[in-house]
Amino acid sequence: MMSKAGIRRCCLLVVFALLALWTGCETVTPPTTPTPPSTPTPDPPTSSGVTVVIDPGHGGSTRVGGSSPNNATSYSGKLEKHLTLELGQLVRDKLNALSPDLNVVMTRTSDVNVGLSARANRARDTGAVVFVSLHFNAFNASARGVETHVRPGGDGGNVNLTKDRGLAQRIQSRVFSALKSHDANAKDRGLKETRLAVLNDLSLGNSASQSRNRACLLEIEFIDVQTVDRVLNIAPNPAQVKRDVAEAIAEGIIADIDANS
């Protein structure tokens, strides 16, 4: 017969054995797979959801509301009205490609003339924030260069001259660079303050209390100069030159919208 001491020793041995068994059977938690960081949603471009008006100068065959059907003619006979329409369509397409949510309005899409006030009124009626009128120059077959016009302040009636100059400079500098890349003799004629009817603030919908629209008129080059005509219209790749100028204009517009958002 086992003594009480022996019984106690046996009980202790059983307890220790059970403890050892329980410790060895602890549940092992498998490692968790780390959750990858979420990709932040990019902010939408600030140029989205706004309206821009592109105004190809001239058009048609008769004078309408102060707008002549054509002014400049290139050395090889190309008409300004056709060149502005072609370039305007390229600018529209480039703006749509760079900022698909941008609403681009054209004052004309065919060979028709539109009065100067009616052109500016498109900006007023659509609530556009930018209005750009496209033109080509001609003078004496030797003067050349790209220049951009804004309406002057003071007696000129421009209620947002500083912002207009900002838009003009963003376009001017980019277009000059684009032309310079194809023509080493390209010239930057800078910004001009000129009383142009198509840039009239009242017609654009601007007032002293509300000046939503920024506007300028771009004179791309003097196309009566033979070398300019060759670059833009003849050889070696006039289509690429026009695409580059159109892209420069579009990028200037978007940069201006972003800067004023």
214-222 and 103-106 strand pairing = unpaired
Superfamily of chain region 51-259: Zn-dependent exopeptidases (3.40.630.40)
Residue 67 has phi, psi (to 5 degrees) of -100, 120
Residue the block writes with tokens 């009616």: 118
**Closest by Cα among 193, 198, 151, 148 to 175:** 148
Residue 118 has phi, psi (to 5 degrees) of -65, -35
> Which tens digits make up the pLDDT trace of 99-132?
999 999 999 999 999 999 999 999 999 999 999 9
The Cα 147–Cα 171 span in angstroms is: 10
> Which tens digits make up the pLDDT trace of 40-67?
444 444 556 799 999 999 999 999 999 9
**Under DSSP, is residue 165 helix (H, G, I), strand (E, B) or coil?**
helix
**What does DSSP assign to residue 35?**
P
For the chain, the structural domain boundaries read 51-259
pTM: 0.82
DSSP 193-213: E---GGG-HHHHT--SS----
**What does DSSP assign to residue 61?**
S
> Which tens digits make up the pLDDT trace of 188-245?
999 999 999 999 999 999 998 888 899 999 999 999 999 999 999 998 999 999 999 9
